[in-house]
Structure 1
Amino acid sequence: MRLLSTLVAIAPASLVVAQTRTATSSLEVTGTARQTISSLLTATAVPTGEACAAVSSVLAEQTEAPLIVAASLANECARSAPIDKADALRLIDGIVAALEFQSDVGHLASPPAEYPLAGVDLFAEISQLREQVGSDDITSEIDFESNFTAILGKAQNGHLAFQFDGLSVFGYQRLVGSLISVSEDGTSEPSIYVYEDFAAFQAGESSEAPSAVTQVNGQDVAEFLTMQGQNVSYGGFQDPDALYNQMFYVLNDGSGGSSSTGLFGFDRNYVGAETTISFADGSSRTEQNVAIYNSPFDFSGLEDGRSFYNLYCNATLKAAAQGYDLDDPDTLDGTRVDPVKKQQMLHQKRVQKRQERRQVTETRSLSPTATESAPVAPEGTQILGYPTPVAISDDLSISGYFLEAEGFEDTAVLVLQQMSEADPDGFQSTMTEFMNQCRQEGKTHLVLDVQGNPGGTISLGYEVFKQLFPDIFPYGAGTLRAQEGLDILGNYYTNYTAQLAEVYPDNVTLLQANNYYAQYSAHSYANSSGELFNSWDQLYGPVDTPKDDFTNLIRWNINDTDFNLASGSIVISGFGNNTEIQPSPFSSENIILLSDGRCSSTCTILAHFLKWQGKVKSVAMGGRPQTGAMQAVGGVKGSQVYQYALLASDVYYAWQGSALLGQTEIATSIEESSTLGPLLNDSTYIIFRGASAGVGIEALTDFTFNWQNNVAEGDSDYTPLQFVYEAADCRLWYQPQHINDVSTLWATVAAQAFGLNDTDVFSLCVEGSTNAPSSLSGNEALFNDGNPTNVTDFEPEQRSESGGNGGGGGSGGSGDDDNAAGRFAASSVAMMVAIAAALFAL
């Protein structure tokens, strides 16, 4: 079923645009590059009010990306942009309407006691911001956007973000270096070092041992990083240790073939004119901070604060530059994402992603290669800094390895960098190839490495689980937030898609059009018994819980092979025409999940299956320098992301279609709805206030929200897993050898988890990090003596008279710009008009 199987995400969503734009143009500050940067950043006195003109002049001198300017000058320019009160209020009201679909707002306002972060009442805080704007308490556009970003960031939900246009013009970077956190022997509290100093010493390029960092800008370094990690401008992770870990350098950032400096080096908000780091040996280092120009717009007209606003924040002018008139609906059809346009955009994006991920530089010899007896991937198909794989996908999203070190000969490693949004078929075939090689080579232990995995195609989370546990049917339950707007759309599209299939049962194109709106159709979901819902009312409920109203539990109908094939999705192993699946060579006790907490979206769905059904334990790496447990899964646990631009198009086509069908009551209900009305009438303005300003596929990621919650088996209160704390079975510190040689990390984890090489199991675990009540090993009821169980017989309490047979598991994880909302190839507006006319004629 395409609805969930093609959803993809790069989480945290709140970092997608900033990280993508900054990371691709990050500065490598060595030698000539440092001299060039220094000349560009030479401080000169800038008269008051002329900062923007100075920025434009400095940028004009540069001929190659990234374009940079002194951070202080960029900040002075951006802050000089005045707020336009009417525009700000319009933006607030448009965003608030869409937030009615954010699935966990009730729990955010009043989170359970176990939730490790502060909650936020989004509607109340945005209302306060609206009052401040209305009373002229905020006069700077950047202050307004920063405050709004901070409110959304408090949700710490990687699926919820709005990339504001003005705030995205510049990204700020520290040039003092990247940081790492390592324990000298794996037992002592970790110290923090500058990665570049550490790597130079480790490679023999420097004879001077690096000194530990003690302070940043005069503040204790661990306190500084903890504060910055939880800075609400970042958002994305619901765990303090995952937020801390995102600050550090990692060998591979989850995109394949490139390292990441970590978020200590980057910020969307101003980080000051310079950064000073102090060391344990008494020395210090100060570097000027820079701003990187991120906007797709020409800066030649940038002269002052007003021109800054007009260039980057004035939606009317930005739309006019692309031929649209926000006050003339007849010109706006091109801004809406009809099915054909969506499919074309997604195809374009997938091709782009494949090209980006295939540009892999030759790896350096840091790690052992695969065993000689096992086949290896084609030369050159390798992740930077990783050993030679025995299997790897073309887009590098999945790769497999065999450890060679003595005592680990029967150990395999499966690395899931993300659940491929570029090539799901390639991911599936690579997984099968890896498992076949493990069987052939007699591998019995598996390290499953999901460090930094941001999510991806939902069906691939199911696929990995099914190949590891072919006899278990994956359970996943989800809920949508029950509110007026969802009810209207669900009723309309459930009837529309059913009629469409009835009128054109053999027309593949129209079937795909049907699938395009399937996420609203009750017939797309199953209950806990695997039976499809018969009506929207049966699915909708609503169910009245202590925190909010939800739909009945919904489940992805993975048995619907026809749906999968018609929409171009993979058929999950063990289902449909793909029933041939070999026994797994790995038992539950011989699999360990390795994570740094930065496992998000679809990754969390897989992790949930592994723990709750597969009885697989987990090891969490790093985190704050303190004792105690840590979650292996610290990313967003919502099971589906959705994009504002797509939701707005859904509303428009429901309104247009109901009008064409003569269903005036539905059309009127959309127009008069406090939720759908703004989406119908003002969505184009909101889209043009995003960082991409309605330009291309990137616009889909400017405003995203969490569409569906994931709910654990047996939870009668329907608590989103986002708010359920689940400790790992063990927490380990990174050691020096792990930083640039990932195979040594895998060996450490395998030894600790399985007792290989005469190692005492979990002997290096951080004090207080084992047998936590919420971990698998510390929860006897969940662990069930290590016996894998198929938890599919849960029948939830029916708490609404109108509710139907609503149990089940619908999960699915997240999505970014590529496939995110389960939309599919289909028809143009003209085709929709023809369809509506045909239906009306019945």
Structure 2
Amino acid sequence: MKPNVGFPLLDCWDLILTALKALEIDATLASQCLRSVPLNVTEELVKLDEIGKYLQFQSTIEWAANPPKTGLYREPVNITSGMEEIKAKVRAEEYEGTYQVAEAIRRLLRRVRDGHLKWKSPCLEGAFSFFHEFPIVHFWDDTGGFGKIYAARLITRSPNNTNPVSAVSTIAGEPAFEYLERFVEKDAGSLHDPDALWNSLFAARQDGRITTGAFTSSTLIPEPLSFEIGFENGTTRTINWKATVVGNFTNTTSGSEYYQNHCTTFESTVPLSEQEEENPTTIQEPPSIFENVTERVPGYPVPLAKSYNNMLSSYILPTTDSSTSRTGVLAIHTFLALNETAKFSDFVIDTLDTFHRQNVTNIIIDVSGNGGGNVALGYSTFAQFFPDVNPSAATNMRAHPAAEFLAADAASTITELRKNPYTTKEEMDYAISTPFCFEPQESLAGTAFPDWRDAYGPRDIRGDRYTNYMRWNLDAPEFNITRPRDGKRWSESNIVVLGDGMCSSTCTLFVSAMVNAGVRTVAYGGRPNNGRMQIVGGVEGSQVLTFEELWWLGEMAVSNALWREYGNDTNTTTTPASSSSSSSIGNPITTKRKLTKLRQRLRESPGRLQKRSDSDSAAPQLPAALESVIPLLPTRKLRGNGVVNLRNAFDAHWDVPREFVYRASDYRVPVTAGEWSDVGRLWGRVEEEVWGVDGRV
């Protein structure tokens, strides 16, 4: 193991233990601790190889390496060669420590600008989270100028500008706008639209909270660790970065100990005890997120109704005596409802029923800050406005041997479960819901696929291999979409979708469906220029998959293959059953407990399963299909956490993923101080911009 020679082991670990009670420490101290974690070349190479097994499922590998010219310029990022370059530097010991390796991976994946592509290292997010306490806002001038930068906390203390607030003129010695334009390219998040990235820097009002913005936080060690803010009135303020203690530093007194405890490649998977099998932990149901209240959300008008966390709310804007129209607002800041998807849908349905009864003529759907959630909720919400339109986007995924193995296993498992008279509905529902089962999919013509291979393909596209195009079958019971009985109630010209560009994931499926149905969009904020802006600036993939889910699917598929080869008894010493034997169907693994027991038995008898090349033909042998695919699968649980975008999303008239297509909004409005402090004023401005003061388009 190579010690970090650039940063000798300091007493930072002793100081960390002393500071744990406060949970916050100086960023310099956290930086010293991270940089003291040594480099283990062998371990890091294993880790990089293992991460590569997950990255092969990323749907945009080829598109990111060679971005099409259908949108704004995007930096070409070759994920595969980038990972190989990191490996080469690890072998050459060019990195001073483990932190630098994790930083290199983070910066490589961040350059792809895909919110569904992340790797959270236990040596970064697992240790500290960096922040400072100077959130900022960007307000445009009432006269149409590009505006200025202000300290957010000063604005919240004087929301109506009764006390003049001096604007920020410089940051770290540079003009404020210039510094932030450079900062957003280097250190901001994974949004792919530059205006959305710009908006993400600033404090924002959302669901009653004031979010501090990306300018105030960092997963990497900030550079520099302190900087100076200059104001137009000539005063200055020094800003120091801090760190929140996230990791468990118990019994950790050095960088080497931290590496051993937290930075090794794999987590141990301990089998469930018999007590855990027989007495599963009781999970308390979370409280309902919905409530019928009229409590005012800070910064918002009085609602008709809202969820307790304010992520979903409805309003009717005030009208003038001469107005012949009424405008309702449905604010949807997430499509994530955990186990309350039915209540989420009911809230939307009840809101629109109320709008209809109260003669609301125009509707603003505010999706500001909506990072996505449940795909079914996105499409269900769309169906309330356009019940006779199928909004499902075309999708595909990368086709490679590991994906093919998982798809084949999913299809075999479904067949076996249907033949088994003891299969429960829960087991069948779970099997159908797995990501590589194509039963919930249909062809773009709306017909079912006769066989999983008809869906899988594969086909060659732009030098890579993908599955055939398919779409979600929204009439399948898994989606459970309820459509209004009285049909379409508002014309597309009487609906607009409003957002700040940070709409991502399921939100993009919803907005794209609305746009394709003829609904107009309004984007607000953005960079200080007069250009156009997208309302959708986040990841536009149609399905995300976590590393843990991929690991579990690989474990399950391998175990299922063993069951099919050896029947119900993996401890048998007979030769594998022939394909014609009834026992070859086996008993597919559909629960984690069964898988854990199987793995435990295999660990207890590691010599029982041998490769076919072994001379002892009487012992169970590894199936030939597994010999080639196991090295490609993530079969051990990786420390840390990550996600990949499994499926691309396409519009019917494009052969390029939505992620790489620029679609400007119909309107763009700046945000003034008054509209930031009172979201109702922003909605009123949108109402006037789109429909005019007398309600006419």
Q: TM-score range by the shorter chain?
A: 0.7 to 0.9
TM-score w.r.t. structure 2 length?
A: 0.85
Counterpart of 2:241 in structure 1 is: 289
The aligned runs of 1:40-55 (5 Å cut-off) are 49-55=9-15
Match of 2:475 in 1: 559
Secondary structure (helix, strand or coil) at the match of 2:498 reads strand
Q: How far 1:640 moved relative to its partner?
A: 0.2
| 1:473-514 residue CA offsets vs partner (Å, 9 max, x unmatched) | 223210011111111221222122123123338732332343
Contact 2:364/2:496 (8 A) holds in 1: yes
Distance change >3 Å, CA 219–CA 202, structure 1 → 2: same
1:493 counterpart residue number = 410
Distance of aligned partners of 1:292 and 1:185 in 2 relative to their CA distance in 1, 3 Å threshold: same
Is the Cα–Cα contact under 8 Å of residues 24 and 242 in structure 2 kept in the other structure? Answer: yes
Q: Deviations over 1:147-176 (max 9, x none)?
A: 11101111111111111011111111112x
Per-residue displacement from partner, 1:502-531 (whole Å, max 9, x unpaired)?
3338732332343253x3223332112322
Give the Cα separation in 1 of the matches to 2:118 and 2:173: 32
Looking at structure 2, the residues matched to 749 and 667 of structure 1 have their Cα atoms a distance apart, in angstroms, of 63
Match of 1:124 in 2: 81
2:142 is paired with a residue of what secondary structure?
Answer: coil
**By how many angstroms is 1:389 displaced?**
1.5
CA contact under 8 A between 1:52 and 1:308: conserved in structure 2? Answer: no
Residue 366 of structure 2: which of 449, 468, 480 is its match?
449
Distance 1:501 1:196, change over 3 A: same
Distance 1:553 1:399, change over 3 A: same
SS in structure 2 opposite 1:620?
strand
User: What's the offset of the Cα at 1:383?
Assistant: 3.5
AA matched with 2:425: V
Task: Provide closer, same or farther for how the CA distance between residues 393 and 186 of structure 1 changes in structure 2, counting only shifts above 3 A.
Answer: farther
Selected match of 1:750 from 656, 678, 687: 687
SS in 1 for 2:544: strand
Shift of 1:438: 0.6
Q: State the Cα distance separating 1:51 from its structure 2 match.
A: 4.0
Q: Give the corresponding residue for 1:29.
A: none
Q: Would you say 1:237 and 2:191 are equivalent positions?
A: yes
3-state SS in 2 of match to 1:460: helix
Q: 1:723 aligns with which of 660, 682, 690?
A: 660
Alpha carbons of 1:79 and 1:421: their partners in 2 closer, same or farther (altered >3 Å)? same
The AA in structure 1 aligned to 2:167 is: A
Aligned to 1:426: 343
SS at match of 2:209: coil
Q: Pick the aligned partner of 2:519 from 616, 619, 622.
A: 616
Cα 1:55–1:311 shift into 2, 3 Å: farther
The verdict on how the C-alpha distance between 1:522 and 1:172 changes in structure 2, with shifts beyond 3 A counting, is: closer
Map 1:144-543 → 2, pairs under 5 A: 144-168=101-125, 169-175=127-133, 177-185=134-142, 187-202=144-159, 208-231=163-186, 234-252=188-206, 256-271=207-222, 272-295=224-247, 297=248, 299-315=249-265, 319=267, 324=268, 332-333=270-271, 351=285, 354=287, 377-380=292-295, 383-394=297-308, 396-406=310-320, 407=323, 410-422=326-338, 423-504=340-421, 507-517=424-434, 519-543=435-459
Could you tell me how far apart the structure 2 residues matched to 1:259 and 1:727 are? 27
- CA shift for structure 1 position 195: 1.0
2:650 aligned with 1:714? no
Give a deviation string over 1:450-474, Cα, whole Å, max 9, x none.
0100001111111111111122222
2:572 maps to 1:572:
no
What is the match of residue 627 of structure 1? Answer: 530
Say whether the 8 Å CA contact 2:39–2:98 is kept in structure 1: yes
CA distance in 1, matches of 2:17, 2:405: 52
Q: How does 1:102-141 map to 2 (within 5 A)?
A: 102-113=58-69, 114-141=71-98
Letter in structure 1 aligned against 2:690: A
**What residue in structure 2 maps to residue 839 of structure 1?**
none
> Would you say the 8 A contact 1:655–1:667 is kept in 2?
no
Tell me if the contact between 1:630 and 1:727 (Cα under 8 Å) persists in the aligned partners. yes
SS at match of 1:453: coil
Amino acid of the structure 2 residue aligned with 1:173: F
For 2:256, the aligned partner's letter is R
Q: Which runs of 5+ in 2 are unaligned?
A: 1-6, 567-575, 580-621
How far residue 48 of structure 1 moved from its aligned partner, in angstroms, is 5.9
Contact 2:10–2:32, Cα closer than 8 Å, also in 1: no
Q: 411-420 or 520-529, which moves further after superposition?
A: 520-529
Deviation string 1:743-802 (CA, Å, 9 cap, x unpaired) is 00000111111123589x8xxxxxxxxxxxxxxxxxxxxxxxxxxxxxxxxxxxxxxxxx
Greater Cα offset, 395-404 or 550-559:
395-404
2:678 paired with 1:741? yes
Residue 259 of structure 1 deviates from its aligned partner by 2.0
Does the CA-based 8 Å contact 1:395-1:420 persist in structure 2?
no
Distance 1:584 1:438, change over 3 A: farther
Higher strand fraction (1 or 2): 2
In 2: Cα distance, 1:758 partner to 1:653 partner: 58
What is the DSSP-based 3-state SS (H/G/I as helix, E as strand, rest coil) of the residue aligned with 1:264? helix
By relative contact order (CA 8 Å, sep 6+), the higher-ranking structure is 1
How big is each residue's C-alpha offset from its partner over 1:391-410, in whole Å with a ceiling of 9 and x where there is no partner? Answer: 32455432110001435850
Does the 8 A contact of 1:198 with 1:209 survive in 2? no
* Residues 795-814 of structure 1 aligned to structure 2 (within 5 Å): none
Distance 2:526 2:204 in 1: 13
Q: How far apart are 1:419 and its partner, in Å?
A: 0.7
Contact map agreement 1:68 1:291 (CA 8 A) in 2: yes
Structure 2 Cα separation of the partners of residues 505 and 521 of structure 1 = 21
Structure 1: 5+ residue stretches without partners: 1-46, 325-330, 359-375, 565-569, 575-579, 691-701, 762-842
Q: Equivalents in 2 of 1:758, 1:433: separation in Å?
A: 24
Q: Contact (CA 8 Å) 2:372, 2:505: kept in 1 or not? A: yes
Distance 1:334 1:117 in 2: 47
AA of the residue aligned to 2:66: S
Secondary structure of the residue that 2:243 maps to in structure 1?
Answer: strand
**Percent of aligned positions that are identical:** 25
SS in 2 for 1:420: coil
**Inter-partner Cα distance in structure 2 for 1:379 and 1:594:** 23
Partners of 1:539 and 1:48 lie apart in 2 by 56
Between the aligned partners of 2:300 and 2:623, the Cα distance in structure 1 is: 56
- Structure 2 vs 1, CA of residues 117 and 499 (structure 1 numbering), >3 Å: closer, same or farther? same
SS in 1 for 2:439: helix
What amino acid is the match of 1:278?
G
Decide whether aligned partners of structure 1 residues 472 and 315 sit closer, same or farther in structure 2, where only a CA change above 3 A counts: closer
Question: Greater Rg, structure 1 or structure 2?
Answer: 2
Aligned AA (1:713)? A
Q: Which residue of 1 aligns with 2:599?
A: none
Task: Give the structure 1 partner of residue 51 of structure 2.
Answer: 95
Query: Where do 1:648-687 residues align within 5 Å?
Result: 648-662=551-565, 667-673=623-629, 676-681=630-635, 683-684=636-637, 686=638
In the alignment, which of 480, 502, 505 is matched to residue 601 of structure 1?
505
Q: In the alignment, which residue of structure 2 is the partner of 1:74? A: 30
Structure 1 counterpart of 2:644 = 705
Q: Which amino acid in the other structure matches residue 436 of structure 2?
A: Y
Give deviations 1:708-733, integer Å, cap 9, x for gaps. 01011033xx3211111111112111
CA distance in 2 between counterparts of 1:69 and 1:103 reads 39
* C-alpha separation in 2, matches of 1:120 and 1:466: 37
